[in-house]
Amino acid sequence: MTQGILTLNAGSSSLKVALFPGRGDRPMASALADRIGPEGTLRLKGAFGQPLEAAPGDLTSHAGAMRMVLDSFRLEFPDLDILAAGHRVVHGGDAFDAPVTVTPEVMETLARLQPFAPLHQPHNLAGIRAAMEAFPGVAQVACFDTAFHRSHPWVNDTFALPRALYDAGVRRYGFHGLSYDYVTGTLGDLAPHLAEGRVVIAHLGNGASMCAVQGGRSVASTMGFSALDGLPMGTRCGQVDPGVLLYLMDQRGMSAAEISDLLYRQSGLLGLSGLSNDMRTLEAAATPEAAQAIDYFVFRCQREVGGLAAAMGGIDALVFCGGIGENSRLIRARICERLGWMGIEIDHARNTENALVISSELARTTVMVVPTDEELVIARAARAAAGLTERDAA
8 contacts 367 by C-beta, under 8 angstroms: no
Rounded-to-integer distance, Cα 71 and Cα 135, Å: 12
Known active-site residue 145: yes
Any idea what the Cα angle at residue 24 is, between residues 18 and 27, rounded to 5°?
20
Query: Active-site residue among 145, 181, 316, 373?
Result: 145
Q: Catalytic positions, please?
A: 145
